Each structure stands twice: as structure tokens, then as C-alpha cells.
Structure 1
């Protein structure tokens, strides 16, 4: 139950206002998830909820307020559902682990659309809402980490951080795909993947994988790098050619000497990311001795690619909706093909896994690698690359 529908009787003016606010929030959440934050206007939200634009302003100042309301409600619902298992974990962490993980998995699945919103649209929140969400999530994670360190006393604070955020990424991965499983099976699988993370050994190794070099830093490359960073930080629709030129130290019109349009820059960035992933896949397959070995090599390759291409991977996974349909369709097919190779290998390594279960598992592993390098308190860990590869392999069960 969200805050928007708590309190007030159904027929009372107060209850009516709160119900209307919840209806508007639900309509906005669906639209934001389907079209992206920038493509949705206040009038779109109002129309979807069956009211006029001015009526929406009686409840929210703007669509950022709507997004903040939706996400804060989701966090409150998660905290409410987890209160019991978290309290049990303080007394008996070993006995509480499975119930806690299953409950977290159930909430993630039930609020799948909200999970996707937080992962991909949270950057558009007001700073105040971002700060409040971080505070509430931080309080919840603090309880989790206390329980985890009781379960595994040998962990230091940084290692507990790493495993808790990785488990959170497992639950968040449901927002990255549409694979369907019966709810009890889905929750049990997610809980098992999160438990594999929680119980995983902390890997050691070099600070970062070996790097084989990159393209020469021509003006075109500088523009591509700057534009990709801006797309990631602000979202593609909020970045202008003038912004891209300014970030590179040239006038906006000069950008057109290198790229015909802003969409061409996005297309070049997306194709580069697709190429890097394909190269890593081909190299892993060519040198592996079996499917499990290929997956371990592929995990290391993916970590390498993400850590060297963090802006590219963020744009490649979130901004394709802003490309012309033909190009977006081509790149989505490449994304699906890349994931399908992981799924094929995982089913070969673990024949008992169904295709949907293998897809859920692969997405969980990929999401850990995508998320943790962009988590400020983890990004500076000296052995993060080895730790990410180890966690991905633990989730995959190889």
C-alpha cells in the first residue's frame, strides 16, 4: 500500500484527494516506464488518469514531483515489507537470511515497473528527492549490512557494502527485462541468486583488467566522449549540440563538421559499444575449453568492457528509444543476440535450467557488473574488477 492511498475514508474529500494523487502517480509511472521521462508531458499524465492538466497541479507542482512521489512510495513499501525479516535478522541472521531474500524478491517482482523507473529515470528527480531516497535506502542497507556482518563476521565494512549492493542489483535486475516466470518460482530463483552473492567469497586480483588501447583522441573522438558523458548525466533529450561543443571547447555549429546530427552521435556511441561487446564475446568463445570456462572468460571480458566504457554502456542500455526506429531496432537485436549467447552457454553449462530461468540469471549477473562501478562508495575499491567477475560467476553458478 502506498502513502497516496493511506488515511482518509474512501468517500471523504481527503480520501478522494489522496486516491486521485495515487491514480495520477500510477498513470505517470506507467508512462515514464514505457516512453521515458522526457517524452511524457504533464497533460499526458493527466489524460491517462482521466483528469485535466490543471487538475494535476492541485496535487503536484510538475512531473518531477510525480516521479519523486512514486519512487518514495515504492521505497516505503519495500521497507514496510522487510521490517519483520530485518528484525528477525538482528536476532538470528542465519535463520532470517532466506525469508529476508525471498521477501525482497517478491517486492521487486510486484513493483517491477517501479524498479525499472528507479534504475533508469531516477536521475531526473529533484535533488531533494534524490537525497531523501538515498537516505531511506541507506538506512535500509545499513540494517542489511549489520545482519550480513553477523552472518559473516570475517567481512570488513567495505566487503559487506560490496555484497549488499550486489544483492540489491540482483533484485533490481528485474527492471531490465521482461522474462516471465510463475511468481513463487521467480521469487525463489531471485532469492537464490542473491544468496549466492551474499555467500560468495571476496575475490582478489589486479586492480583492473589489461587494456588493449583505444581509438586515437581526434576531435571526433573528443566529441563522442563528451556527448556520451552528457547523454548519461542529463538524458539525450536534454543535451544540445551547443552543449556538446561547449564540453569539447568548440562552438556548437562546428560539431556538424564531424556528425550530421545529435542522433548520429548517439548511433556512433551505441554501435561502438555493440562492437566492443561482440569482440569480447568472440574472444571468450575462441579461447574457452567448455561452456563454464567460456562464461567465466565472458564475465571477465564484460567487466573489462564496462569498466573501460561506463558512459557508453549506460547510454547503450537506456537511450536507444531516441534513435530512428530502424537503427534502434538493429541495436536492440544486437543486445538480444549478445544476451542470448550468455543464455545458451549457461544452459549448456547447467542443463537443468530452463530458458527463462537462465535469462533471469544472466540478467542478474550483467546488472551487478553494470551497477557497482557506478556506485560511488564502491567505485574506488582496488580489486573491483576481480570482485565483479567473481560475483558474476557466483550468480551464474560456474
Structure 2
């Protein structure tokens, strides 16, 4: 194995390590990848890797920052071209769609793994992300001067969720078609008139937190919050007990293991989604009405149980194999209900096109509901529902062209 003696060290070794780490983190998850894994993939020793990075956390920071730089460069290059503000905005959206298809694994890291960074690196990633959104939103307000800055930023965040949604599924299309579909969906979001929604259309979701009534519920709530903050592997039963106000060993009176806690949380969310879907699909009406009810039910569940969804999306791999496979089956069956309705409304679309559109709509709801600032908007429920409709309708029109 290359010990990376000075005379043999490639000039682009640091960049190579960033690319290899990004691939491994995307495939296995940050916590499941070791420095030795990355070094082995690069054909060097672990100690040699430390000549370039302080550790795995530093490497993750560079992966995320490099990904942001690539997106920034693509956007700035598009903005530097000639044309009207509308043409430049369209060029930016197209450039970002191309990068999302080419680097779909990095999107997952940016959305789900930044919590593993130290505070300094995490703040830098966040600040760069905010700067990027502000820049994009500024271009949008040039095209739509009557749109308030806060609403323009929300629309650009939703469009970025559309682009980042490619990391949440494996559906694919020929590259040109894939890019064109994402471009269409993100552009439709930026052009949407559904933001701001009238405050009377739906209430905001700034409810008082519900205090768990039983010790079991307190423990489950504490575990869920810790899993969100630190990740499943970094949380111990002692941590959960302390957060719930009891001794660590007392947790075992209610849950047999940490995995049992994770299964309970996933099961709770799956039940909530199943009930909402059953009510949506059993009601009278055409597929369009059923899809509308399904979207609304999902928004309600996510806004009420957002932390459970956050854990479900990120920590499923830590369940025992049988439970993990069952959870995946339930998750896929739920998404298939959306895809089935979307396909019925767009019969000429391929299954992949319908799935890509559905995941884009779901990701908007998932991402924007995590922001405390956005949750405080007086009609956020109506806005999330309308944005989901915007994406799905744009996909239906895309196929008809």
C-alpha cells in the first residue's frame, strides 16, 4: 500500500480523498465509514491520510464545503451570462439541476450528515447555505419585484429541496431527461404564486409542545430528540435516561434496547401516516381529490411529528435486519400510494418520472417543516400543501409537452 512518501504523492491527493470520502459517506453513512476505509479506497495508509486532514470530521466538512463551492460556481457562471433577469434565473436553475443529477450523493450528505460536524464547521456550512439562498432569492426578486424577500427565500429553499430530493430515492432517467424534469419542477416552484398564502387558509404550526403523559412516552420523546441532535450511534441508554430525568438502567424497564426505542419511534410514525393515507384514499372523489387529501394528511403528520420523521429518514439502517426490511416495505408502500395517484393523473409519464415528482413534493414538506422560522409562518400548512401540488402539477404538464 502507498505510504505516500513525498516523491510519490499525487498533486491532487487531497481532492481525490474528498471525492472518495463523499462516495463512501453517501453509500454507507458517515458513522459507518472509518478513516481506514477511506485510506484503503485511496490506496494509502491511515496515518498518510492524516497528513491532509485532521480526522474524519474534518474530511466531512471538506466534502460538504467542496459540494457547496461547486454549486456556487455553477450558479455564478450561469449568472454571468447575458440575457434578461428571467433568462439568467432560468440558467441558474438549469445549472443547479445539472449539478444535482451529476452529484446526487453529495446532496444527501449536505441534508443529513452536517450534524456530525463540530460547531465551527457546521456554522460555516450553514452560513454558506444561507448566502447561496439569499443570492438566488435576489435573482428571483429581480424577476418578481413584488415578491417580498422572505417569500423569495422560501421559494428558493423549496426549489433547492426539489433538486436535493434526488438523494432520497433511486429512481433515474436518461441524464438529459432527468435534468429537464428537475429544471421544470424547480422553475415551477420559483414561479409559484402560492406563497404567501392567505393566513386564513390554514393555521400555523406553532403549537405548545405536548408533554408526554407517561414515563414510556417521556423516554421515547427524549430518545427521539437525542437521535435527531447527535445521531443514533452517538446516543447511549444513559444519555436517554438522563434526558428523561431517570437513571440509565431504568430505561430498560420500558424498552429492551436502544434499537427497541428506534423501532417504537418508527412504528409510531408509520401508524400515523397509515391512518392519514387510509382516510385520504377511502373518501369519495376523483384521484385529484384523493391526492389533495393525501398531501394534506402528510403535512399534518410531518408538522406534528417532524422529529420522528427526521429519525426515520436518517436512522433506519440501525434497526435489526428484519425490522429494517419491514420498515422499508411500509415506507415504499406509502410512497407507492402517492405514485399511483400521480400516475393516474399523468398516465403518459413513466413510473420513474412519477416517483421523482412525488419525492420532490415530499422533500419540500420534509425540509421546510424542519425550520423553526418557517414553521412560524401563519399559513405554512397551506403553503407546503400548495407547493407540493405545484411540483406534481408541473410534472404532469412536463409529460404532456
Q: TM-score, normalised by structure 2?
A: 0.91
Question: Corresponding residue for 1:26?
Answer: 19
How large is the Cα RMSD of the aligned pairs?
A: 2.2
Q: Work out the CA distance in 2 between the residues paired with 1:76 and 1:376.
A: 26
- What per-residue deviation string (whole Å, max 9, x for no partner) do you get for residues 351-370 of structure 1? 12211000000000000000
The answer as to whether partners of 1:119 and 1:175 remain within 8 angstroms in 2 is no
Deviation at 1:393, TM superposition (A): 0.8
Give the direction of change, closer, same or farther, for the CA distance of 1:226–1:288 in structure 2 (3 Å limit): farther
Question: Corresponding residue for 1:62?
Answer: 55
- What per-residue deviation string (whole Å, max 9, x for no partner) do you get for residues 192-244 of structure 1? 11111111122332224799x99962100111111011101100000000111
Q: Work out the CA distance in 1 between the residues paired with 2:75 and 2:178.
A: 18
Q: Work out the CA distance in 1 between the residues paired with 2:335 and 2:85.
A: 35
Give the direction of change, closer, same or farther, for the CA distance of 1:376–1:216 in structure 2 (3 Å limit): closer
Asked if 1:325 is matched to 2:321, the reply is yes
Question: Corresponding residue for 1:236?
Answer: 232
Question: Corresponding residue for 2:399?
Answer: none
Structure 1 segment 289-328 matched on structure 2, within 5 A: 289-328=285-324
Q: Work out the CA distance in 1 between the residues paired with 2:44 and 2:125.
A: 28
The answer as to whether partners of 1:208 and 1:304 remain within 8 angstroms in 2 is no
Give the direction of change, closer, same or farther, for the CA distance of 1:339–1:15 in structure 2 (3 Å limit): farther
The answer as to whether partners of 1:86 and 1:144 remain within 8 angstroms in 2 is no
Deviation at 1:18, TM superposition (A): 4.6
- What per-residue deviation string (whole Å, max 9, x for no partner) do you get for residues 248-268 of structure 1? 100000000000000000000
Q: Work out the CA distance in 1 between the residues paired with 2:285 and 2:61.
A: 49
Q: Work out the CA distance in 2 between the residues paired with 1:82 and 1:288.
A: 46
Asked if 1:129 is matched to 2:125, the reply is no
- Structure 2: 5+ residue stretches without partners: 397-401
Question: Corresponding residue for 1:44?
Answer: 37
Give the direction of change, closer, same or farther, for the CA distance of 1:138–1:216 in structure 2 (3 Å limit): closer
Give the direction of change, closer, same or farther, for the CA distance of 1:14–1:69 in structure 2 (3 Å limit): farther
Query: SS in structure 2 opposite 1:154?
Result: coil
2:179 pairs with 187, 198, 205, which one?
187
Q: Work out the CA distance in 2 between the residues paired with 1:243 and 1:227.
A: 8
Question: Corresponding residue for 1:3?
Answer: none
Structure 1 segment 4-23 matched on structure 2, within 5 A: 16=9, 18-23=11-16
Q: Work out the CA distance in 2 between the residues paired with 1:180 and 1:219.
A: 45
User: How many residues matched?
Assistant: 385
Give the direction of change, closer, same or farther, for the CA distance of 1:88–1:143 in structure 2 (3 Å limit): farther
- Structure 1: 5+ residue stretches without partners: 1-11
Question: Corresponding residue for 1:97?
Answer: 89
2:103 pairs with 111, 117, 127, which one?
111
Asked if 1:154 is matched to 2:153, the reply is no
Q: Work out the CA distance in 1 between the residues paired with 2:47 and 2:212.
A: 53
Question: Corresponding residue for 1:8?
Answer: none
Q: TM-score, normalised by structure 1?
A: 0.92
Q: Work out the CA distance in 2 between the residues paired with 1:214 and 1:30.
A: 40
- What per-residue deviation string (whole Å, max 9, x for no partner) do you get for residues 58-110 of structure 1? 11111001111111111111111111322458x62222232221111000111
Deviation at 1:375, TM superposition (A): 2.5
